[in-house]
């Protein structure tokens, strides 16, 4: 199984240009089976003034483009997230698409970020743990600040997750926690973790980049720096079961805790 993580920056104030940029990046992903993009990459996470005006429904221009590209490339595509509007509420929503362009799963970010951020003022939190079955195994979905909440990832494991897909717009000042939490969430749950983080500047904030692919032992298999790039690597789905059998860490859990 080959996975690709697209680490990209927003074209400030130009959503159409950013959509075109993402399209070109996806087309460069070669023979990847699974591709993931960052959090609110079409506007830039810090572009809070655009959230309401540029929000989309599930059939808006961003999901529509992603569905088309999933079909054309015949890939499983994690769309990254976008601001979704539904019944007067706004959400930080990501989709996992099949190679037919069908929506396999929709995840709304549960843990919204309120520190030097207006996300909690504008958006509503999701309330569902999302794990979806695929030919590669069960995939759980999370977004950025979710990484700081281990109970979400353990809840995904309880639903059978073998992979975590994490889209993000993690800022540069907290780069060490980003690297640490990517590795720890994979290690403690004995899962693969594939993250796509934003890079570049948006509304005066610098994103950290350093997207990565982590194996069930917490080892970085592939990682980016802080520039725009696509990271690609092969992973063996059988490694999850092998890791859990070799070192049965999860088997030692105490349910009363």
Annotated catalytic residues are 39, 109, 144
Sorted by sequence, the CB contacts under 8 Å of residue 241 that are 6+ apart come out as none
Retrieve residue 103's tokens.
């929506």
d(CA 231, CA 36): 10
From the CB of residue 9, how many other CB atoms can be counted at a distance below 10 Å?
A: 20
Q: Angle 68-73-75 (CA atoms, 0-180°, nearest 5)?
A: 95
Per-position DSSP letters for 142-175, written without gaps between them: EEGGGGG-HHHHHHHHHTT-SEEEEEE--BGGGH
């Amino acid at each position: 199984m080959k996975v690709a993580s697209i680490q990209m920056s927003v074209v400030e104030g130009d959503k159409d240009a950013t959509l075109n940029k993402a399209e070109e990046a996806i087309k460069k992903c070669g023979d990847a089976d699974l591709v993931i993009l960052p959090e609110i990459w079409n506007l830039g996470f810090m572009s809070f003034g655009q959230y309401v005006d540029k929000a989309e429904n599930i059939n808006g221009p961003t999901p529509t483009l992603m569905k088309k590209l999933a079909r054309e490339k015949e890939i499983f595509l994690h769309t990254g997230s976008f601001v979704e509007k539904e019944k007067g509420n706004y959400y930080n929503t990501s989709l996992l698409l099949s190679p037919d362009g069908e929506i396999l799963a929709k995840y709304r970010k549960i843990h919204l970020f309120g520190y030097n951020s207006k996300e909690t003022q504008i958006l509503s939190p999701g309330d569902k743990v999302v794990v979806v079955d695929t030919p590669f195994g069960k995939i759980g979905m999370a977004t950025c600040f979710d990484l700081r909440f281990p109970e979400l990832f353990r809840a995904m494991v309880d639903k059978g997750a073998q992979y975590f897909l994490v889209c993000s717009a993690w800022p540069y000042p907290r780069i060490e926690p980003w690297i640490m939490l990517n590795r720890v969430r994979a290690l403690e749950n004995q899962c693969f973790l594939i993250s796509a983080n934003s890079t570049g500047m948006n509304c005066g904030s610098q994103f950290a980049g350093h997207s990565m692919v982590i194996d069930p032992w917490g080892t970085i298999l592939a990682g980016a720096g802080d520039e725009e790039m696509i990271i690609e690597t092969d992973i063996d789905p059988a490694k999850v079961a092998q890791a859990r059998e070799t070192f049965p860490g999860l088997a030692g859990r105490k349910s009363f805790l």
